[in-house]
Amino acid sequence: MPDPQPASVYDLDHKAEVENLATFAVLVDNEPGVLHRLVGLFAARGYNIESLTVAETDRNAHTSRVTIVTRGTPHVLGQIEAQLQKMVSTRHVQDVTRDPNGLERELALVKVKSLGAERVEALRVADIFRARVIDTTHESFVFEITGAPNKIDKFAELMRPLGLVELSRTGVLSITRGADGM
């Protein structure tokens, strides 16, 4: 176990603790500047943003759903949750990672340029990953793939030697299993 308290608050980075990825789903009032407020909070307090997605999800209620993937020690993640909760524009915060019913999905568009055997192999791998071809030329494919982030990591990794040219990812979206809403 790490030292429970560092020598000073200035050293409060809990370096010895393991950093984990965490996904927070945040329901916010959709108003001008709300994204800036949220991103500014992360910047001002030195938190990481690994990915961020945001879109209005309920036009009548004026709410947007933000999904943030961040990295930190358990202490920092607890602070992030509390700080998100504290924003006046925040309706609800959910720590998807800690929720056993949490589902995470990401969409990626992957451009691969290759010929001959590599081109065939790329198509075969895409089939295994259930990626769809959404554009093709004689020397390239654009694949559309959805899945958990590590599935997309793996797909990109396999495509790299097969002529990966470009990768575009949406960032993580999340929701929980079951009938209950957020």
Partner 1 sequence: MTAHQTITAPEAAETEMMSGAEIVVRSLLDQGVEVLFGYPGGAVLPIYDALFAEPRLRHILVRHEQGATHAAEGYARSTGKPGVVLVTSGPGATNAVTGIVDALMDSIPLVVITGQVATHLIGTDAFQECDTIGITRSITKHNYLVKNVDDLPRIMHEAFHIATSGRPGPVVIDIPKDVQFGKAAYQGPQAVTHAHDYRPQVKGDAGRIAEAVTLIAQSRRPILYTGGGVINAGPRASALLREFAELTGAPVTSTLMGLGAFPAADPKWLGMLGMHGSFEANHAMHDCDVMVALGARFDDRVTGRLDAFAPTSRKIHVDIDASSIGKNVRCDVAIVGDAASVLEDMIAAWKSMRLSMDKTALAEWWREIEAWRARDCFAYTPDSKLIKPQQAVERLYHHAKDKDVYITTEVGQHQMWAAQYFRFEDPNRWMTSGGLGTMGYGLPAAVGVQIAHPDSLVIDIAGDASVQMTMQEMATAIQYDLPIKIFILNNEWMGMVRQWQQLLHGERYSHSYSESLPDFVKMAEAFGAVGLRAEHPDELDDKIAEMISVRRPVLFDCRVTKEENCFPMIPSGKAHNEMILAQEARDLGSIIDDAGKRLV
Answer yes or no whether residue 89 interacts with partner 1 by CB under 8 A.
yes
Please identify, among the stretches 77-85, 99-107, 122-130, 159-167, the one whose residues bind partner 1 according to the rule CB under 8 A. 77-85
For helices 74-86 and 34-44, give the axis angle rounded to 10 degrees: 150
Strand stretches in 73-152, DSSP E: 90-95, 102-113, 132-137, 140-147
DSSP 127: H
Answer yes or no whether residue 5 interacts with partner 1 by CB under 8 A.
yes
- Contacting partner 1 within 19-38 (CB under 8 A): 29, 31-33, 36-37
* Nearer residue to partner 1 within complex by CB, 6 or 102: 6
Q: Residue 149 is which amino acid?
A: P
* Nearer residue to partner 1 within complex by CB, 36 or 177: 36
Closest distance between partner 1 and the C-beta of residue 59, in Å?
Answer: 14
Work out the number of other CB atoms within 10 angstroms of the CB of residue 152.
23
Scan for tokens 């992360």, then name that residue: 42
Q: How many residues bind partner 1 (CB under 8 A)?
A: 30
